[in-house]
Amino acid sequence: MTGGTIFALASGAGRAAVAVLRLSGPGTAAAVTALAGRLPAPRLASLRRLRHPETGEVLDRALVLWFPGPASYTGEDSAELHLHGGPAVIAGVAEALVAAGARPAEPGEFTRRAFVHGKLDLTAAEGIADLIAAETAGQRRQALRQAEGALAGLYDGWTRRLTGLLARQEAFIEFEEEDLPAGLDDAVAGAAAALRGEILAHLADARRGERLREGVLVAILGAPNAGKSSLLNALAGREAAIVSARAGTTRDVVEVRLDLGGVPVTLADTAGLREAVDEIEAEGIRRARRRAEEADLVLVLFAADERPDAGTLGWLGPDALVVANKVDLAPAPAVIGDRAPLPLSLRTGEGLEALRSRLIEEAVARAGLAAETSLTRPRHRAALTEAVDWLAELEAAPLPELRAEALRAALRAIGRITGRVGVEAVLDVVFGEFCIGK
Ligand SMILES: Nc1nc2c(ncn2[C@@H]2O[C@H](COP(=O)(O)OP(=O)(O)OP(=O)(O)O)[C@@H](O)[C@H]2O)c(=O)[nH]1
Ligand SMILES: [K+]
Ligand SMILES: [Mg+2]
C-alpha cells in the first residue's frame, strides 16, 4: 500500500437506498471540489450536485460531508459522499473520483491510515474488524470493548511498568552500587515476578476470548441411527441434514451455525460410529472422530432402546455431554458409562428445551463474555507468552545487563501486540482481515 488519496464504498455492495463513498488523503479537498463545486462546512451535511470533472455531466444529487484532518477517522483530510445506492451511480462517481486524482482503496487501508496517524492501536483496529464481523451479541460486546481500547489500556499499562523497571535496572548498571538505594536490583526482580503473575493470569482464561471470537465447536457423536441428524435439525430449526431409518445415512460432516446465549456455536453432525461397510463410510467415521477431537464439547448421543456400544462409550471424556434419545421407545437408563444422561425424544420433543438450556450454559461457560478483558487472538497469546518467558529469564539472570536485556525483549514482545513497536509483517496480518472501505 502506498500513499495518495483513496476512496471506497463504505456501505455494502448491491442495490440500496443510499451508498456511502468515503475518501481520505491529502487530495480529498481537491477531489470533492472537483465534483461538488466547493467544500461544505466541516462535519455538516450539504446537498450537492455531483458532476464529472471532465465532461461536466451531472452524476447524482448527494449529501457531502467534509472532515478536515486531523479530527477524522483516519487522521487525514476525509470526506463522505452519500449517494443514491444504484450500481451505475456508484460506478459513475467512482470514475469521476479517479478523474479527480483519487484511487480505489485496498482492504483495511482507511483503518491502517488511522493506525499510522496514532488514532488507534492494533488491538483497537482488530476490535473494529471484529465488530464488522460480529454475528452474536456476545461477539459484538467483546469487539466493541476491544475497539474502545480495553486491551490497549491493559497492555499499555504493562508496557509502562516494564519501562519503569528498565529505567531502574539501567540506573543500576550506570551508577556505582553505593550511590543507589539498597535492594534496588532485588526490587526490580520482585516487580517483574509480580507482573509475570498478572500476565499468566490473563493468559489462563481457557481461551474464552478467542472462542467467543471464533465460535465454540460442538460435535454430535454416536452410533448409527441414534438420532444425531435429527438432533442437528431440531437445534437448527431446519432440515439441514438427511434423516432416515437406514443406519449409515450421514457420511460427511454437516455443520450449522447457531447463536446460543450470544455465543456463536458451530454444531457438527457426523457419521455414526461402527465397523464401516465401505471406504466412503470409513472416511466419514475418520472425519467424525477428527471433528470430535477438535471440538470444545461433544454431544454423545445414545438411543435409549439400544445397549450403549463400546465405541461410543469411549468418548465420555471431560468435555462430553451424554444424551439418551428415543425415550418415547424406552426409558432413559439411569447411568451410561459413569454419567447420568439427559433424556430426550426428538419424536415427541421431550427434553429438547432442557438440552438447549444446558448447551447454552456450556457455551457461555466456554466463551461467555467474562467481566475481565480477554485476549482474542493467537498472536496476542504468542506475544504475551514470549514476554512471560523473558520475565522468567530476568528473574534467573545473574547480571544486571542480562536483566535489562530481558526487560527490553519483554517490552518488544508486548509492543508488537499494540503496534507500538512497528513491525510491517504484523501490520499486514492485522489489516489483511479487513474489508475494503474500512
Ligand atoms: N422413535 C424415535 N425415533 C427417532 C427419534 N429420533 C430420531 N428417530 C428416528 O431414528 C432414525 C434415525 O435418525 P437419524 O437422525 O437419521 O439418525 P443418525 O444418528 O443421524 O443416523 P446416521 O446418520 O445413520 O448415523 C430416523 O428414522 C428418525 O426418524 C426419537 O426420539 N424417537
Ligand atoms: K440414519
Ligand atoms: Mg445422520
Question: Quick one: cell of 43?
Answer: 462535519
Euclidean distance between CA atoms 389 and 248, whole angstroms: 50
Asked if residue 201 belongs to a domain, the reply is yes
Please check if 46 is assigned to a binding site. no
Do residues 351 and 221 both lie within one domain?
yes
Euclidean distance between CA atoms 285 and 426, whole angstroms: 39
DSSP lists the bridge partners of residue 175 as none
Distance of CA 152 to the CA centre of its chain: 16
Asked if residue 223 belongs to a domain, the reply is yes
Do residues 270 and 380 both lie within one domain?
no
Asked if residue 323 belongs to a domain, the reply is yes
Last residue of a domain, one of 77, 105, 133: 105
Do residues 273 and 336 both lie within one domain?
yes
Residue of minimum CA distance from atom 16 in ligand 1: 243
Asked if residue 116 belongs to a domain, the reply is no
Asked if residue 396 belongs to a domain, the reply is yes
Q: What is the pLDDT of residue 12?
A: 85
Q: How many Cβ atoms sit within 10 Å of the Cβ of residue 338?
A: 8
Asked if residue 110 belongs to a domain, the reply is no
Q: Which ligand is nearest to the CA of 230?
A: 1
Q: What is the SS3 assignment for 230?
A: helix
Domain of 327 in residue numbering reads as 212-367
Q: What is the SS3 assignment for 342?
A: strand
Q: What is the pLDDT of residues 224-262, one digit of tens each?
A: 999 999 999 999 999 999 999 999 999 999 999 999 999
Do residues 388 and 422 both lie within one domain?
yes
Q: Residues 79, 83, 88, 92: is their CA dihedral positive or negative?
A: negative
Quote the number of domains for the chain: 3
Strand 320-325 and strand 297-303: pairing? Answer: parallel
Euclidean distance between CA atoms 206 and 203, whole angstroms: 8
CB distance 256 to 240 below 8 Å: yes
Asked if residue 115 belongs to a domain, the reply is no
Q: With a 6 A CB cut-off, is 329 part of the ligand 1 pocket?
A: yes
DSSP lists the bridge partners of residue 16 as 85
Q: What's the CATH code of the domain at 130? A: 1.20.120.430
Q: If the chain, 438 residues long, is cut into consecutive pieces of 10 residues, what is the mean pLDDT of each piece?
A: 88 90 98 97 97 97 97 97 95 97 95 93 95 94 95 94 87 67 76 96 93 96 98 97 97 96 96 95 96 97 96 95 98 96 98 98 90 90 97 89 92 91 61 73
Do residues 227 and 189 both lie within one domain?
no
Do residues 265 and 308 both lie within one domain?
yes
Please check if 24 is assigned to a binding site. no
Largest CA distance in the chain: 86
- Rg of the chain over Cα atoms, rounded to whole angstroms, equals 29
Residue 415 burial by Cβ neighbours in a 10 Å radius (0-12, 13-18, 19+): buried
Last residue of a domain, one of 335, 367, 399: 367
Do residues 351 and 263 both lie within one domain?
yes
Q: What is the pLDDT of residue 183?
A: 66
Using the mean position of ligand 2's atoms as its centre, give its distance from the Cα of residue 257 in Å. 22
Q: What is the pLDDT of residue 336?
A: 97
The question of ipTM being above 0.85 is answered as yes
Last residue of a domain, one of 347, 367, 387: 367
Do residues 231 and 261 both lie within one domain?
yes
Please check if 403 is assigned to a binding site. no
Q: What is the pLDDT of residue 230?
A: 98
DSSP lists the bridge partners of residue 7 as 23, 104
Q: With a 6 A CB cut-off, is 227 part of the ligand 1 pocket?
A: yes
Asked if residue 114 belongs to a domain, the reply is no
- Of 29, 42, 35, 40, the C-alpha closest to 72 is 42
Could you tell me the pTM of the whole model? 0.84
Do residues 91 and 11 both lie within one domain?
yes
Q: With a 6 A CB cut-off, is 326 part of the ligand 1 pocket?
A: yes
Do residues 363 and 388 both lie within one domain?
no
Using the mean position of ligand 2's atoms as its centre, give its distance from the Cα of residue 242 in Å. 8
Using the mean position of ligand 1's atoms as its centre, give its distance from the Cα of residue 297 in Å. 21
Q: With a 6 A CB cut-off, is 195 part of the ligand 1 pocket?
A: no
Q: What's the CATH code of the domain at 322? A: 3.40.50.300
CB distance 125 to 418 below 8 Å: no
Using the mean position of ligand 2's atoms as its centre, give its distance from the Cα of residue 244 in Å. 5
Q: What is the pLDDT of residue 251?
A: 95
Do residues 90 and 198 both lie within one domain?
no
Q: How many Cβ atoms sit within 10 Å of the Cβ of residue 255?
A: 18
Do residues 93 and 138 both lie within one domain?
no
Euclidean distance between CA atoms 69 and 77, whole angstroms: 4
Going from the C-alpha of 191 to that of each of 187, 195, 364, the distances in angstroms are 6, 6, 35
